[in-house]
Structure 1
Amino acid sequence: MTQQHQELAKQLFTLGDFVRFAASEFNRADLFFGHGNDNAWDEAITLMMFAVELPSHLTEHIMQCRLTQDEKLACLALIEQRIEQQVPAAYITNQAYFAGLPFYVDERTLVPRSPIAEWIEKRFFPLIAKEKAVHRILDLCTGSGCIAIACAHYFPEAEVDALDLSVDALNVAQINIENHGLTEQVIPIQSDIFTSVEALKYDLIVTNPPYVDQQDVDSLPAEFTHEPEMGLGSGPDGLDITRVILAQAAQHLTEDGLLICEVGNSQVHLEAVYPEVGFQWLTFERGGHGVFCLSKAQLQQHQEIFNQRVKR
């Protein structure tokens, strides 16, 4: 325990004191927030509630509760770690939420944060009719398995394949599959894009592939350096993997199947590379952008263009 921690522990008493202090310190340190929380206050709540081993939704009921000396020191240690190491809170707590579900995360995978969660929660309606049966779903570039598991939760009748090139990521996905009791429904598969499922067709392909362009990769805040680089960048314009997905997705979809793909800020590059394609860009009530939908028919309509513009 440092002298500074000893002095601070004498001045701060309640959980609310520590949340306020942490948020102020985070703002002074000019930290980046974008891995589950988008502001210093919520990040402080996440970490302080973790320190006292309570769920964050209880905050309003216990903000005036006084902390023990050990709890105070635990809070101060997490504040120091978050500032000095610039590591996202999700990696400190090893937990993130996606589509209302909890997930184990560590530095082998990206922190779940895709806006696609909002559409999974409503079973992609109205893109998919409420009465339509969805039998097979593919989560391509699954990472922690969050999209695959969320799809399995909201489409309990569907079989879900979770593909990733990274064995490390698949090991994290397996932890989450087991934690959610979905070992019979969600199958993790090592695959370089579609190579391991060449003979399979899906009613729905959902993918959040690496899509950060090189200029953005070179200027990412320090918090992103804790995430696996292969999960972020994808060539100069961020579209190397997306080009392959567009060229190959049609052959892996059923006749009325859909491709849902996130490209984030690289939306501008995608529209420049494929001006002929009428991408349907999804809208989000909770914030988000850069996610498109294409049907199998649309993919087939532009198949020649997609094949020509894959980088060799």
Structure 2
Amino acid sequence: MPLDAGVRHLSTHRVPEARASAEFILAGVLGAGRGAAALDGGRSLTAAQRRRFWSLIRRRCRRLPLAYVLGHQDFMGLRMTVSPAVFTPRPETEELVDEAQGLMRAAGLLAPRILDIGTGSGCVAISLAKRFRFARIWATDVSARALALARRNAHAHGVAGRIKFLKKDLFLPWTLPKADLIVSNPPYVPASRLRRLAVEVRCEPRPALDGGKDGLDAVGAVVRAAAKGLKPGGRLVMEIGHDQGARVKTLLREAGFGEPRVKKDMQGLDRIAVARYPR
């Protein structure tokens, strides 16, 4: 059957989790769920669908991330269109959205002003827009291609009218309205580690990965931007590297933030830095 043949082909090319990749590809071609596709095995493929299936299998054999092969990635229950222009949304970034939502709810803010720095696919800004109907959101990125894709995703999920997408370079000065919440998933991989990343990860945009010599170039820039861009009492919620917690808390304190803390992810690793700007 095509599914089993696809698994064998992927395995020959040493693609990790070959069966899962083949099942997701078949599901995408059939327009079905993964379970239904696995049961079908490819029996119901038309000739055109069979050609499409093998075209996608060959792309995955080149170790392109599965999300790029399929053209989408689910995030917080929302389907995001993705391409090699943007970093693929990760499950751990969903924890950033949950934390940000909890902080705004605890503060009693139903219409917060939110800034998303380095929006990429727009997944974080869009997820927050879905959760806060009256929020005003600004989402920035240095990449015009990423912003075009983020706008497309915002339109697909009915929130384009509530998010203002802006082309901004994090390392250059710029001014936006003061925010109640700043969220960011900046590049935080030390440059020396980039070559050791999985092949699939190395296919993603280098600017979305490369955090400079110690991994903290963009992280530090976000901290400095947040110190200028938050209202008194505003919150910063930022994804960080698994071993950066102590250094990021130091950066936050030096920038004048109070109550810096680092949340662990499901694997028990440093993942989300949270801080409050003084009133």
Normalised TM-score (structure 2): 0.84
TM-aligned CA deviation for residue 138 of structure 1? 0.6
User: Using the alignment, how far apart are the partners of 1:158 and 1:276 within structure 2?
Assistant: 28
Q: 1:285 to 1:52 in 2, by over 3 A?
A: same
User: Using the alignment, how far apart are the partners of 1:255 and 1:156 within structure 2?
Assistant: 23
More strand by share: 2
Q: 1:23 to 1:131 in 2, by over 3 A?
A: farther
TM-aligned CA deviation for residue 293 of structure 1? 0.3
205-214 or 278-287, larger mean C-alpha shift: 278-287
What is the count of residue pairs matched by the alignment?
275
Alignment match of 2:45 (pick from 67, 72, 84): 67
TM-aligned CA deviation for residue 183 of structure 1? 2.2
1:49/1:56 contact within 8 Å kept: yes
Matches within 5 A, 1:3-14: 12=1
Confirm or deny that 1:133 pairs with 2:117: no
User: Using the alignment, how far apart are the partners of 1:127 and 1:136 within structure 2?
Assistant: 10
User: Using the alignment, how far apart are the partners of 1:243 and 1:188 within structure 2?
Assistant: 22
User: Using the alignment, how far apart are the partners of 1:148 and 1:230 within structure 2?
Assistant: 19
Q: 1:196 to 1:89 in 2, by over 3 A?
A: same
User: Using the alignment, how far apart are the partners of 1:218 and 1:167 within structure 2?
Assistant: 26
CA offsets 1:10-37 (integer angstroms, 9 cap, x no match): xx1xxxx60x5444543453335xxxxx
CA offsets 1:212-247 (integer angstroms, 9 cap, x no match): 111211222222333221111021111111112222
2:96/2:237 contact within 8 Å kept: no
Alignment match of 1:294 (pick from 267, 275, 278): 275
Q: Who is 2:10 aligned against? A: 26
SS in 1 for 2:273: strand
188-197 or 174-183, larger mean C-alpha shift: 188-197
Q: Who is 1:53 aligned against? A: 31
The structure with the larger Rg is 1
SS in 1 for 2:69: helix
Cα RMSD of the aligned pairs, angstroms, is 3.1
Q: 1:134 to 1:193 in 2, by over 3 A?
A: farther
Q: 1:220 to 1:285 in 2, by over 3 A?
A: closer
Confirm or deny that 1:216 pairs with 2:193: yes
Structure 1: tracts of 5 or more residues without a match: 1-11, 33-38, 301-312
Confirm or deny that 1:181 pairs with 2:158: yes
Q: 1:262 to 1:46 in 2, by over 3 A?
A: same
Q: Who is 1:162 aligned against? A: 139
User: Using the alignment, how far apart are the partners of 1:203 and 1:259 within structure 2?
Assistant: 9
109-118 or 71-80, larger mean C-alpha shift: 71-80
Alignment match of 1:251 (pick from 205, 228, 241): 228
Structure 2: tracts of 5 or more residues without a match: none
Q: Which letter does structure 2 place at the counterpart of 1:120?
A: V
Residue identity (%): 26
Q: Who is 1:95 aligned against? A: 72
